[in-house]
Amino acid sequence: MATPLLLLEDDPAIAETVVYALGREGFEVEHVMLVGEAERRLRDTTLAPPAAVILDVGLPDGSGLDLCRSLRQAGGALAALPVLMLTARAEEIDRVLGLELGADDYLTKPFSPRELCARVRALIRRSQLVAAAAPATTSAASLHGRLAEPSAPAPREPLLVCDEAGQRIRCGDHWLPLTRRELGLLTLLLRHPGRIWPREALLDAVWGQDADSTDRTVDTHIKTLRGKLRDAGAPADLIVTHRGLGYAIDPKLL
């Protein structure tokens, strides 16, 4: 059976290419051109949700980034829906913003249809892994919501508490002695416990345009970060390496 996807894109030529390329790879793409249409489609509980959504940023009636944010804030299944952003602008701010708003991945236009297919497949695979890793009684969405909504009743305080305004992270009773990059990495990982972050996405979000950094840079910083967490008494495998995919915080150990 074809895997259902929702595409929000107002450029007919791009939409046609995407629908065709993904269709050949076994996806069934529902295409809408307005933010309002996409929102109505996704919130319609009589329809099965798509396996992932692909969102353009600039639309006639609003922004794909705003839709992404409202999906994440919606809670339930919508908050856990895999989101890939398509952006026409290559500026770093768009990428970081896309990820910080809760997008799982992004592609900068122009992109190759092949690359898009590979990213969508990886996105769906990652979300299935996260769903499988989450405890049966707790969905990935509610884990996401635990940090996003401090007012929600929590049985106990999480092991790590991020003070984003103060740019510091507490492990138990101790503030962690983190460098700027380590702080950036851990803050991102903690925003969505269980979500697997590809090295490339971490690199983009934390290092930006720093030309000297590579995937190895991320690995090196994760290593020192693990050392500091261990020194502070956190479990050794709190940051999980997902081979070939990236890094995630294990929500069960948090």
Q: How far is the CB of 108 from Ca ion (least distance, A)?
A: 13
Residues interacting with Ca ion, by CB under 5 A? 10, 56, 58
Rank residues 58 and 158 by Cβ distance to Ca ion and give the closer one: 58
Which CB sits closer to Ca ion, 58 or 208? 58
We find the least distance from the C-beta atom of residue 98 to Ca ion, in angstroms, to be 14
Q: State the Cα–Cα distance between residues 190 and 194, nearest whole angstrom.
A: 9
**52-56 and 83-87 strand pairing:** parallel
> What type of residue is 226?
R
- Kindly state the smallest distance separating residue 32's Cβ from Ca ion, in Å: 12
Residue 208 — φ and ψ, nearest 5°? 60, -130
Cβ proximity to Ca ion: between 10 and 30 the closer is 10
The whole-angstrom separation of Cα 119 and Cα 96 is 17
In the complex, the smallest distance separating the C-beta of residue 15 from Ca ion, rounded to whole angstroms, is: 10
User: Among 250, 237, 241, which Cα is nearest to 215's?
Assistant: 241
**Which position's Cβ is nearest Ca ion?**
58
Alpha helices for the chain (secondary structure H): 12-24, 35-43, 64-74, 76-79, 92-100, 113-133, 140-148, 180-191, 199-202, 215-231
Instruction: Please identify, using beta-carbon distances, which residue of 1 and 93 lies nearer to Ca ion.
Output: 93
C-alpha span between 145 and 143 (Å, rounded): 5
CB neighbour list of residue 233: distance below 8 Å, 6 or more residues apart: 171, 172
Q: Which of residues 56 and 105 has its CB atom nearest to Ca ion in the complex?
A: 56
Q: How far is the CB of 81 from Ca ion (least distance, A)?
A: 20
Least gap, CB of 58 to Ca ion (angstroms): 4
Q: How far is CA 124 from the centre of its chain?
A: 12
- Of the two residues 55 and 130, which places its CB atom closer to Ca ion in the complex? 55
